[in-house]
Homo-oligomer: A and B are copies of this chain.
Amino acid sequence: MSRPKNDTFLRALLRQPVDYTPVWLMRQAGRYLPEYCETRKRAGSFLNLCKNPQLACEVTLQPLARFELDAAILFSDILTVPDAMGLGLYFADGEGPKFERPLREEWVIRDLTAPDPNVHLRYVMDAVVEIRRALNNSIPLIGFSGSPWTLACYMVEGGSSSDYRTVKTMLYNRPDLMHHILDVTTTAVTDYLNAQIESGAQAVMIFDSWGGALSHAAYREFSLAYMQRIVAGLKREQDGERVPCIVFTKGGGQWLEAIADIGCDAIGLDWTTDLGEARRRVGDRVALQGNFDPVALFADPEKVAAEACRVVDSYGSGTGHVFNLGHGINQFTPPENVRALVDAVHKHSRRGYSTP
């Protein structure tokens, strides 16, 4: 298998020349699309959708049929890994994800082991294979995982949290236990991402959604250090092609220099960071992905397009920018505004590149 026909996304991540700024959107396959809601209804539940490779493939492709996106991302959930570790993932109506057996007892934590992704997360690998087949090498497929810290937040809290009180109390009171959870989870995530790469993922992204809840000091010790271990343990080449790795810490705009140092190819940025300033700070060490405010997609299409052009311009000219939102797309987003966004990025950015 060679590079996909449209490899703009991969080239931008590797800071190779491109003709325009590639664009994809976090959670591009999701509830804002009526066809997604239809498939999900048919699946019976969100988890069934994740666990059925055919349906996961179907929803992965849906946004590509509507918009000129430059990458597909595996449809799955970041909590499949702790689920495979035996915590019992379920979704309570309107309450978000929960675990039946959150990590609270020391003996349970000491018993934690990393699952074999090709056994316990086989359905994810099957989805990757299925999606690659369906994409037929048109655009690249992104695999992903939650970061160890982000997964640990859910694993210890037992679900979402507004203040991370339980997990942070463990962090401050029992750093040894916290490190044990993170250590096992790091092995699990590394194996999981490598299995995705072996199954066909052409780039991978680590979502550190809750790294920004940590103090400056704790972030380095409890989140970044483990992402560094993952990046070091990743297969960076598959079938003769480089597999780029993106690290995204939401709320991590102050820590870009440190993130760039862990060996990833690109950094995801939320909308609080100016792309131009970020570029000056990290130099040519990494590419940057982001960072349109997802709520700006609620403005009228011409305002959406104008804001998209502002974001493109804030990066400046030259390669190394993958356009994205600064966070997942909101479920109430009008799909026609997504089209306005994608088209504006393509059209506007072509001006910034010298085409032969």
Chain A contacts to B: CB under 8 angstroms: 163-165, 168-169, 172-173, 212, 214-219, 251, 253-254, 271-274, 277, 291, 293-296, 298-300, 303, 307, 310, 314, 326, 330, 332
Contacts and interface: CB of A to CB of B under 8 A. Distances in A.
Contacts of A294: 163
B330 A295 contact: no
Contacts of A299: 169, 172-173
Q: Which 6 A-B pairs have the closest CB atoms?
A: A172-B299, A216-B274, A215-B271, A169-B298, A168-B295, A173-B299
A332 B214 CA distance: 19
Copies of the chain in the assembly: 2
Contact of A216 (B172, B173, B217, B273): B273
Nearest to A211: B272
Given A295-B164, A295-B165, A299-B172, A251 B272 contact: yes
B298 A212 contact: no
Nearest to A165: B295
Interface centre among A163, A172, A298, A332 (most CB of B within 10 A): A172
A173 B303 contact: yes
Which secondary structure dominates chain A's binding surface? helix
22 contacts: A163-B295, A165-B298, A165-B332, A168-B298, A169-B298, A172-B298, A172-B299, A172-B303, A172-B307, A212-B272, A214-B272, A215-B293, A215-B296, A216-B271, A216-B272, A216-B273, A216-B277, A217-B310, A217-B314, A251-B272, A253-B253, A254-B272
Contact of A217 (B164, B274, B295, B332): B274
Contacts of A212: 272
A212 to B, nearest CB: 6
A293 B168 contact: yes
Given A165-B298, A169-B299, 14 more contacts: A163-B294, A163-B330, A165-B332, A168-B293, A168-B298, A169-B295, A169-B298, A172-B299, A173-B298, A214-B272, A251-B251, A251-B272, A254-B272, A254-B273
B173 A272 contact: no
A353 to B, nearest CB: 23
Contacts of A214: 272
A296 B168 contact: yes
A329 to B, nearest CB: 11
A337 to B, nearest CB: 11
A274 B310 CA distance: 30
Contact of A254 (B165, B173, B253, B310): B253
Contacts of A291: 215
